[in-house]
Chains A and B, each alone.
Chain A
Amino acid sequence: MAGSDLVMYEEEFKQIDEELSKLHEQANAKLTFLVDKNGQLITTVGETENLDTTSLASLTAGNIAATGGMAKLIGEKEFSILFHEGERDNIHISIISQRVILVVIFDQRSSLGLVRLRVKKSAEALSNIFNRILLKVEKEKGVKGEAKSPFAEITEEDIDKLFS
């Protein structure tokens, strides 16, 4: 299997949430969120009412994947920052640790310069947290026999119930 599954634990989730809240506030953003490169939403801070965050996450990942493909074609490793400018709202997208995507949506109450600066500062902290998660996942994998996964005991009956 390519890569490892992304697993999020309570402790690190809290730290990520805190760091994201800090960034959200300091960058004066409308909405700040983190997405796994496969399009799975990790967490959001800000104005999410009336917003389809699941679709937003999936399209963000598609966007990063497409520009990543373009980067490879011209001999770049990746484009680590994307910026979309709208009439009212703008989107700043950046890749963290080559694995997760940080998205900041902001309007005229903030500016691209401020967002870039704050994202840069938070990126390092977030990167450290994700590295810790990866280490933890590896460590847990090493502990054989003490399966912690709630899925170790799934039965066919459980699955049938999902579709009933």
Chain B
Amino acid sequence: MSFINYSAREINCKIVYYGPGLGGKTTNLQYIYKKTSPDAKGKMISLATETERTLFFDFLPLALGMIRGFKTRFHLYTVPGQVFYDASRKLILKGVDGVVFVADSQVERMEANIESLENLRTNLTEQGYNLDAISFCIQYNKRDLPNVVPVEEMNRVLNPKNVPWFEGVAKDGRGVFDTLKEVAKQVLMELKKAGR
């Protein structure tokens, strides 16, 4: 649910990074934060536990620049990945414009990926959205690890609709901006459709 302010000539969109616990959602945001020039970003807020597990959400406001005379801002959020934080995840999905699913490529996390993706679908439906209709892309993270599932297999299991996907190593930045760009593009194209 974007916010268009004709008075301030601004447009704000909300993007949520979803996925299983310890999959690299926060790391994606941290990398974006690190690599963005100071005048384009706000403070990154992390509501995390003492052991740096996300408790409620991470938040990073990004000002990307002008489109047709409008300041374009993206608010990036992550959800807490751990299963028992489901109530919080639902809240963060409210008013979302685009979703990035950060999957953990390690063999032993495939089940967690599947569970989290199903959870995303359910929670979106509860908010009145449809995962197949919303702006959405997938990042297969941690491709640098030795025990990863082949991309073809991950696509077969997690991406039957063949939405745009990227291989990632979020800690080094691989795939991070490609993923963000893809979801941002989809969100803006959605606005274009709505404006017609």
A residues whose Cβ falls under 8 Å from a Cβ of B: 1-10, 13-14, 36-40, 42, 52, 54-55, 58-59, 62, 65-66, 68-69, 147-154, 156, 158-159, 161-163
Contacts and interface: CB of A to CB of B under 8 A. Distances in A.
B70 A2 contact: no
Given A1-B129, A151-B191, A52 B95 contact: no
Contact of B3 (A38, A58, A152): A38
28 contacts: A1-B128, A2-B95, A3-B1, A4-B1, A7-B4, A9-B7, A36-B3, A38-B94, A40-B14, A52-B43, A55-B42, A55-B45, A55-B61, A62-B47, A69-B87, A148-B195, A149-B4, A149-B194, A150-B67, A150-B68, A150-B195, A151-B11, A151-B68, A151-B192, A152-B195, A158-B188, A162-B65, A162-B72
Dominant SS at the B interface?
mixed
Given A3-B1, A151-B68, A154-B68, A52 B42 contact: yes
A162 B8 CA distance: 19
A13 B14 CA distance: 21
B137 interface: no
A5 B87 contact: no
A61 B113 CA distance: 28
Interface residues of B, number: 50
B63 to A, nearest CB: 10
B56 A163 contact: no
B181 interface: yes
B192 A54 contact: no
Given A9-B7, A36-B3, A163-B177, A150 B70 contact: yes
A9 B4 CA distance: 9
Contacts of A150: 67-70, 195
A58 B91 CA distance: 12
Contact of A10 (B6, B57, B67, B91): B6
B147 interface: no
A17 to B, nearest CB: 9
Interface in B160-196: 177, 181, 184-185, 188-189, 191-192, 194-196
Contacts of B42: 52, 54-55
**Pairs of residues from A and B, 5 with the lowest C-beta to C-beta distance, nearest first:** A149-B195, A38-B95, A2-B128, A13-B7, A152-B195
